[in-house]
Amino acid sequence: MTDHGETTRKGGEIRNFGTQTYKVVGTRPIRHDGTDKVTGRAVYGGDIRLPGMLYGQILRSPHAHARIQRIDTSRAEALPGVHAVVTAADLPDTTGGRIDLGEGHADTKYMRDNILAGDKVLYRGHAVAGVAAVSLHVAEEALALIDVDYELLEPVIDVETAMKDSAPLLHEGLTTTELNEDTGRKSNIAMHIRHEMGDVQQAFAGAAHVAEAEIRTATVHQGYIEPQNGTASWSEDGQLTIWTSTQGSFTAQKQLATILDIPVSKVRVIPQEIGGGFGGKIPVYVEPVAALLSRKTAHPVKIIMTRADVFESTGPTPGSYVRVKMATDASGKLVASEAHIALEAGAFPGAEIGAAAMCVFSCYDIPHAVVDGYDVVVNKPKSAPYRAPGATQVTWPVEKVMDDLARQLGKDPVAFRLDNAAAEGTRRVDGIVYPRIGGRECLEVARDSDHYQSELSGPYRGRGMAIGYWFNIGLKSAVTASVNADGTVHLVEGSTDIGGTRTSVAMQFAETLGLDAADIYPSVGDTSAIGYTDVTGGSRVTYATGWAAYEAAEDVKRQMIERAAILWESSADQVEYSDGVFKTRDGSKSADFKQLAQKLEDTGGPVVGRATVHPDTGVGGSFAVNIVDVEVDPDTGKVDILRFTVIQDAGKAIHPSYVEGQMQGGSVQGIGWALNEEYAYTEEGRMANSTFLDYRMPTSLDLPMIETIIVEVPNPGHPYGVRGVGEASIAPPPAAVAAAVENATGTQLNVLPLRPDRIINAMEDSIPAAAG
Site residues (vs another protein, CB under 8 A): 137, 140-141, 635-636, 638, 640, 675-676, 680, 688-689, 693-694, 696, 698-699, 701-702, 755-757, 760-761
Which CB sits closer to another protein, 513 or 687?
A: 687
Minimum CB distance to another protein, residue 228 (Å): 19
CA 603 remoteness from chain centre = 46
Query: Residue 640: beta bridge partners?
Result: 631
**In this structure, what DSSP letter does residue 319 have?**
P
Cis status, amide bond into 62, omega within 30 of 0? no
650, 710 contact by CB (below 8 A)? yes
- The residue type at 454: S
- Rounded to a whole number of angstroms, the minimum distance from the CB of residue 754 to another protein is 10
Least Cα distance to 145 among 55, 54, 73, 85 occurs for 73
Cβ–Cβ under 8 Å, residues 684 and 380: no
Give the residue with the Cβ less far from another protein, 52 or 704. Answer: 704
SS3 letters across 201-248: HHHHHCCCEEEEEEEEECCECCCCCCCCEEEEEECCCCCEEEEECCCC
Compare residues 408 and 761 and give the one whose CB is closer to another protein: 761
Tell me the closest approach of the beta carbon of residue 639 to another protein, in angstroms.
Answer: 8
Give whole-number Cα distances, 350 to 9, 353, 589, 737, in Å: 42, 8, 61, 29
Answer for the pair 552, 508: CB distance below 8 angstroms, yes or no.
Answer: no
Sign of CA dihedral 106, 108, 109, 113: positive
Q: Tell which residue, 546, 484, 554, 551, has the closest CA to residue 520.
A: 484
Measured from the CB of residue 702, what is the shortest distance to another protein in angstroms? 5
Supply the minimum distance, in Å, between the C-beta of residue 674 and another protein. 12
Q: At what angle do helices 413-420 and 439-448 cross, to 10 degrees?
A: 160
Pick the closer one to another protein by CB: 210 or 703.
Answer: 703
CB of 404: closest distance to another protein in angstroms? 27
Least separation in angstroms between CB 668 and another protein: 13
Q: How far is the CB of 642 from another protein (least distance, A)?
A: 11
Q: Please, which residue, 288 or 381, has the CB nearer to another protein? A: 381
Residue pair 545/588 in contact (Cβ under 8 Å)? The answer is no
With CA atoms as reference, report the closest residue to 681 among 123, 114, 59, 115.
123
Contact 436, 652 (CB under 8 A): no
- Per-residue DSSP letters for 289-305? HHHHHHHHHTS-EEEE-
Min dist CB 92 to another protein, Å, is 34
- The CA-based angle 737-740-741, given to 5 degrees, is 85
**Omega of the bond prior to 29 within 30 degrees of 0, cis?**
no
Integer Cα distance of 571 and 548 in angstroms: 27
Specify the residue, 454 or 636, whose C-beta has the smaller distance to another protein.
Answer: 636
CB contact set of 396 (below 8 Å; sequence gap of 6+): 213, 215, 217, 466, 734, 735, 738, 752
**CB of residue 138 to another protein, shortest distance in Å:** 11
- Minimum CB separation of residue 275 from another protein in Å reads 19
How many C-beta atoms lie closer than 10 Å to residue 625's C-beta?
32
Q: Which is nearer to another protein, 148 or 760 (CB)?
A: 760
Instruction: To the nearest 10°, report the CA torsion of 115, 121, 124, 130.
Output: 40
| Residue nearer to another protein on the CB measure, 37 or 137 | 137
CB of 197 to another protein, least distance (A): 42
DSSP single-letter state for residue 176: E
- How far is it, in rounded angstroms, from Cα 515 to Cα 171? 57
Nearer to another protein by Cβ, of 78 and 144: the residue is 144
- Asked if 702 contacts 631 with a C-beta cutoff of 8 angstroms, the reply is no
Give, in order, the Cα–Cα distances in Å from 592 to each of 199, 480, 493, 507, 595. 64, 22, 26, 19, 5
Least distance in Å: CB of 150 to another protein?
20
Which secondary-structure segment (H or E) carries 147? Answer: strand 147-152
Q: What is the DSSP letter of 332?
A: S
Question: Do residues 738 and 204 lie in contact, with contact meaning Cβ atoms separated by under 8 Å?
Answer: no
In whole angstroms, how close is the CB of 179 to another protein at the nearest point?
Answer: 39
Least Cα distance to 335 among 283, 249, 409, 234 occurs for: 409
CB of 44 to another protein, least distance (A): 21
Helix or strand or coil: residue 179? coil
Cα distance between residue 183 and residue 186, in whole Å = 9
Residue 384 CB, shortest distance to another protein, in Å, is 22
Q: For 364, which DSSP code?
A: B
Which is closer to another protein, CB of 82 or CB of 549?
A: 82
Nearer to another protein by C-beta: 461 or 594? 461
Q: How far is the CB of 699 from another protein (least distance, A)?
A: 5
Closer Cβ to another protein, 1 or 693, answer by number: 693
Nearer to another protein (CB atom), residue 33 or residue 140: 140
Identify the CA nearest to 255 among candidates 535, 545, 541: 535
CB nearer to another protein: give 617 or 700: 700
Question: What count of other Cβ atoms lies within 10 Å of the Cβ of residue 404?
Answer: 17
Cα separation of 659 and 628, whole Å?
A: 20
Residue (143 or 607) nearer to another protein, CB = 143
Task: For another protein, give the closer residue by CB, 688 or 705.
Answer: 688
* The residue type at 460: Y
In terms of CB distance, is 448 or 694 closer to another protein?
A: 694
